[in-house]
Amino acid sequence: MPRARFSVDEVVALTLDFYRRNCIEGLFLSSGIIQSPDYTMEQVVEVARRLREDHDFRGYIHLKTIPDASPELLAAAGRYADRLSINIELPTQEGLHALAPEKNAPAIRRSMARLRVHIDDAKGEAIDSARSSVISLPKSRMARRSAAPRFAPAGQSTQMIVGADASSDRVILQTSASLYGTFRMRRVYYSAFSPIPDASMRLPLLQAPLLREHRLYQADWLIRFYGFSHDEIVPATHSSDASDTGGMLSLLHDPKLAWALANRGRFPVDLNHAPREMLLRVPGMGVKAVERILQSRRVRHLRAADLLRLHLPLKKVMPFVLLPDHHPGGLLDGMGLGEQLRDPVQPGLFDEPAPAGKTPAPARTLPQLPYIPPQITTTAAGMTAALPTLAASGMSAPWASVSEERSLPWA
C-alpha cells in the first residue's frame, strides 16, 4: 500500500494555518515507524518543539508516542505536549502476539510506567513550588521563583481495538481497570474493529458492532465516575448459569440499567435517605442530578414532582426509587420491566421511509444474544494493512491529523 509523509515544516505550517483561521483548537500527531523508533520520535518531538518555542503555539497538543523510543525522547515529548498516549492496541498479550507479533506488550507497559513517573514528578514539583516562599525582610513580597517544569499536564491515554480478537467485554474492562489503577490513565479509548479490503484471513470478516463500542464507553464511565468495579458490570458466571452472557455487555440496555435489573434486591432506593454511592447506581441519574438531589434534601423531603423539575428520565428512574408519595410496588419485580426499558432502536441510514398515510414498519430489533467475536487461533502477520490503528513498523511516513478528544458525559 503506497504511503505518504509530511515533513516537519509541513506539519507545523498546516497546524498554524488551521489554528489561525480558528478551524482547530489543537493538534493530534501520530506516525508510523520511519527508519527507527528513535528517528520517528525525534521528528514528532521536533514538530511540538517548533510549535511551542518558535511560534508560541498555545493550543492543545496530543502526541502519540512510540514505545520502543528512548526514555530521553519520551521525556522531551512530555515537555511540549499536553497529553501523551501509547496504544496498548489489544486487551491481552496473547491477542497482541497473534495479530501484531511485532508489538512488544512488556515494552508498551514499561513506557507507560516511565510516563507515569515523569507525570507524578512534575506534579510533585509544582505542588512544592506553590507552597515554598522566601521571606527576606519584614513586609517583603514573596520572592518570585521559576515555575516548576510541566510534563504532559493532561496525563496519558491509550486505545484498544474492540472485536479484532476473541476478548470479551469483561476482559477488556478488566484491562482498562488495571491501566487506570496502575498507570493512572486519564482515558482509555475503544475503537470497533472495521475490516478493509484484502485484509488478512486471520481477521474477522465483519465489523464489530458500533453499539458494542458505545456500551464499553458507558461501562468505562461507570468505573471512572460512578464507583462501579469492572467485575460488577460484567460478573463472572458459569456456562451452566441461565444468566451467563459470555462476558459480554448487554446490547439491549445500558450497563447501569443492566446491573440494576440483575440486582433488583438492592432497590428501591430511598432518595431522601440513601447515601451518594447508592444514588449513583440508580438508572437514569447522573453525577450532577445526584448532587442536586443531595443539596435539595438538606432543606426538605423530595417528592415525585421534584424529580420532574430536575428533568430526570422518569420512565427509567421511577421503577427503582422510593419517595413519600411513590412506591414502585410490583413494577420493580415485573418480568416485562427490562423489555419496557430497552433502548430505542435508531433507523438505519438507508432505511426506506414509510409511505404517506401508512403505518411505518416496525423498527428492527437488536439481536437477543450478545455479540461474540470470532475465535482467532492462528498467528497474523503483516498487520500494517489489516489494522490501520496499529502503528505498523513498515509505514514509510509520519502523518498528522487534528482530532477532537471524545467525551461522553453519560449518566
Same domain, residue pair 170 and 227: yes
Confirm whether 134 is domain-assigned.
Answer: no
48 and 179 share a domain? no
Confidence bin at 185 (pLDDT 50/70/90): very high
Residues 230 and 106 in one domain: yes
Asked if 300 and 398 sit in the same domain, the reply is no
The three-state (H, E, C) secondary structure of the chain, written as one string: CCCCCCCHHHHHHHHHHHHHCCCCCEEEEEECCECEHHHHHHHHHHHHHHHHHHCCCCCEEEEECCCCCCHHHHHHHHHHCCEEECCCECCCHHHHHHHCCCCCHHHHHHHHHHHHHHHHHHHHHHHHHHHCCCCCCCCCCCCCCCCCCCCCCCCEEEEEEECCCCCCHHHHHHHHHHHHHHHCCCEEEEEECCCCCCCCCCCCCCCCCHHHHHHHHHHHHHHHHCCCCHHHHCCCCCCCCCCCCCCCCCCCCCHHHHHHHHCHHHCCEECCCCCHHHHCCCCCCCHHHHHHHHHHCCCCCCCHHHHHHCCCCHHHHHHHEEECCECCHHHCCCCCHHHHCCCCCCCCCCCCCCCCCCCCCCCCCCCCCCCCCCCCCCCCCCHHHHCCCCCCCCCCCEEEECCCCCCCCCC
300 burial type by CB count under 10 A (0-12 exposed, 13-18 middle, 19+ buried): exposed
Residue 356 belongs to some domain of the structure: no
Mean pLDDT score across all residues of the chain = 83
Encode pLDDT of 62-105 as tens digits: 999 998 899 999 999 999 999 999 999 999 999 999 998 888 99
Which pLDDT tens digit goes with each residue over 191-210?
999 988 887 788 888 899 99
Q: What integer is the mean pLDDT of 290-301?
A: 95
For 246-276, how does the pLDDT look when each residue is reduced to its tens digit (9 = 90+)?
A: 899 999 999 999 999 999 999 999 999 999 9
- Regarding whether 376 and 228 lie in a shared domain, the answer is yes
Domain annotation covers residue 363: no
Q: Are residues 94 and 228 in the same domain?
A: yes
Lowest mean pLDDT among 194-208, 343-357, 389-403: 389-403
Does residue 357 register a pLDDT over 60? no
Mean pLDDT confidence for 360-384 = 40
Judgement on whether residues 229 and 283 belong to the same structural domain of the protein: no
Asked if residue 324 and residue 266 are part of one domain, the reply reads yes
- 217 and 290 in a single domain? The answer is no
The answer as to whether 137 is a domain residue is no
CATH code, domain carrying 105 = 3.30.750
**Same domain? 101 vs 38:** no
- In the chain, how many domains are there? 3
Q: Indicate the range of 27-36, 163-172, 284-293, 365-374 predicted with least confidence.
A: 365-374
Give a yes or no: residue 349 inside a domain: no
- What average pLDDT score do residues 15-23 get? 96
- Could you tell me if 111 and 170 lie in one domain? yes
Using one digit for the tens of pLDDT, what is the confidence trace for 168-184? Answer: 999 999 999 999 999 99
Tell whether 319 and 202 lie within a shared domain.
no
pTM equals 0.79
The answer, yes or no, to whether residue 21 has pLDDT greater than 90, is yes
- Domain housing 59: 1-86+389-404
With bands split at pLDDT 50, 70 and 90, how would you rate the model's confidence at 397? Answer: very low
